[in-house]
Amino acid sequence: MIAATGIDLRLGASDVLSGARLCTRPGQVVGLIGPNGSGKSSLLRCLYGMLRPNRGAVLIDDKAIESMSQRSIARAIAVVAQDASADGIDITVGEFVLLGRHVHRGDHEGFTDDDCKVALDGLEMVDLSGFAERHLHEMSGGERQRVMIARCIAQQSPVILLDEPTNHLDVRYQHEVLTLVRQLKNDTIVVLHDLNLAGRYCDHLALLDRGSVVYQGQPDDVLRSDVLEPVYGIEVRRLADGQHPYLAFGPLAR
């Protein structure tokens, strides 16, 4: 379990986060939403030690993150980061997923048969068994994102953080990836831009505005025009869609 409280973050001359708070919920998917520049990715990066907040505390299982080594943080938290395109290296899918096992092995230790099995199981869970020998750059955007998730599965960390995992994906893959995230049943935090996807796939939403979490609750409570309009500056209309809230957007009347 991760809990962040009173997070202030200053990058250069700008205050990116001020008093932000967020925590995982057991077995649930928490969606982090908010306009561009509201600090979603920065808050997520504070949670796994990529950014160190100027004030406030990030606790992983009640231990302060500063007191933990990067390796023990990674044993608790797996991340699908925004830079996770693996463009710089012409690696196979199997090799990439296997690297998720690094947290469980010393620098000098080779990977064991068990590691290989865990990696292959990860690929099977994302429906990509048989793709281990394929090169990552040959995979489509949606397949690649599933490979990233397979690496998280292979890492076997109880918490998974995902930073805009549906970016650049067509609608079918967006739904596929988020369905998969739900099936994992890990404690999950996912940054999402698309509010309708957030409403459909998250158990809990945290709305971030100018560096602070201004509203938290179940999707039904957060995805309301009176909550969203002041934050996004856009007209929000809620349409009926069975069990999930469904929103339509338009410019605010002046």
Q: What is the spatial distance between Cα 33 and Cα 26, in angstroms, rounded to a whole number?
A: 19
- DSSP bridge partners of 207: 33, 215
Q: Near other proteins by CB under 8 A, which window of 58-66, 76-84, 176-184, 220-228?
A: 76-84
Q: Near other proteins by CB under 8 A, which window of 87-95, 170-178, 223-231, 246-254?
A: 87-95
Binding mask 138-167 for other proteins (x = CB under 8 A): -----------------x------------
Tokens of 200: 């459909």
Task: Choose among 19, 54, 17: nearest CA to 37.
Answer: 17
Return all residues near 6 (Cβ < 8 A) that are at least 6 apart.
19, 20, 21, 55, 56, 57
Helix axes 113-125, 141-155, angle to 10 degrees: 140
162 or 177: CB nearest other proteins: 162
Restricted to residues 121-140, the positions that interact with other proteins (CB under 8 A) are 137
Number of residues lying near other proteins (CB under 8 A):
36
Shortest separation between residue 220's beta carbon and other proteins, angstroms = 32
Asked if 162 and 188 touch (Cβ cutoff 8 Å), the reply is: yes
Restricted to residues 94-113, the positions that interact with other proteins (CB under 8 A) are 95-96, 99-100, 102-103, 105, 107-108, 110
| Measured CA angle at 153 (ends 127, 207), to 5 deg | 100
Amino acid identity for residue 128 in this structure: L
Shortest separation between residue 163's beta carbon and other proteins, angstroms = 8
| Measured CA angle at 19 (ends 47, 189), to 5 deg | 30
Q: Near other proteins by CB under 8 A, which window of 17-25, 90-98, 126-134, 196-204?
A: 90-98
30 or 195: CB nearest other proteins: 30
33 or 47: CB nearest other proteins: 47
Shortest separation between residue 176's beta carbon and other proteins, angstroms = 22
Percent helix, strand, coil in the chain (nearest 5)?
35, 30, 35
| Measured CA angle at 211 (ends 238, 40), to 5 deg | 65
Element (H, E) at 29: strand 29-33
Q: Does 29 bind other proteins (CB under 8 A)?
A: no
Q: Does 79 bind other proteins (CB under 8 A)?
A: yes
Exactly one of 82, 167, 216, 225 binds other proteins (CB under 8 A); that residue is 82
**Footprint on this chain of other proteins (rule: CB under 8 A):** 45, 48-50, 69-75, 77-79, 81-86, 88-91, 95-96, 99-100, 102-103, 105, 107-108, 110, 137, 155
